Structure 1
């Protein structure tokens, strides 16, 4: 990412953390994606925003791209698993197992995944697909 793109990404994350509506942030992250099309963090963030905005097909495509860009990005795989559940796409188990292995090897990854799951429930209470992923990963 260029310095400008990195700054835009950081500003987008700050807006997200401040509670801005995912629908408002999606165009921001799409612009960043267009500037940095091979950046897995951008694709992962975009997938998450699509999931929060109830756009599972778009989330699935973004999450697939995030995993393609970085096979070792745990949140990208979590997003992909959620999007797969919401679109009734097969193959969820493989991604859950990979994230479980990552979490077992690195406590920071476990902590990050837990925080992101809790953030998801704060923003979208009663999220059934997220609850299933949480059960598989954390319980």
Structure 2
């Protein structure tokens, strides 16, 4: 029996939280994105996994899709800003500003995004672009 996209997504998140290597989870989230192309959360997760795997070019594309699907999601904006910094692309400021605005009115989103940033810096301590974005959001 085929698993639902939601079940695959939840399992992928659990595997990530359990410490599985991001590169091993990329195919899982690519499959989820193929099966649910309008899921901004799936695209944001895929972008994050690419970033953790030092693949900024596909991270930019995945993050752009996440932001296009849900322009008010601060995590998608943060992922796009970090991917653009990692890829050396301009236009980062607007994404950080939108993320900051949304986080300013939604404390639960602020907490979640900052926890994700801290997780990223734990997994990849020398991640300069993520540290810069964290500073800008603080």
TM-score where L is the length of structure 2: 0.96
Q: Runs of 4 or more off by more than 6 Å in structure 1?
A: none
Q: Select between 104-113 and 7-16 the one with higher mean Cα deviation.
A: 104-113
Q: Gapped runs of 5+ residues in structure 2? A: none
Residue 63 of structure 1 is matched in structure 2 by 63
Residue 44 of structure 1 is matched in structure 2 by 44
CA RMSD of aligned residues (A): 0.8
Trace 1:1-139 onto structure 2 (pairs within 5 A): 4-138=4-138
Q: Give the drift of 1:26.
A: 0.3
CA distance in 2, matches of 1:91, 1:115: 24
Number of positions where the alignment pairs a residue of Structure 1 with one of Structure 2: 136
Q: Give the drift of 1:126.
A: 1.4
Query: Residue by residue, what CA displacement relative to the aligned partner does 1:17-51 show, whole Å, maximum 9, x if unpaired?
Result: 00000110000111111100110000000000000
CA distance in 2, matches of 1:73, 1:99: 7
Q: Select between 10-19 and 101-110 the one with higher mean Cα deviation.
A: 101-110
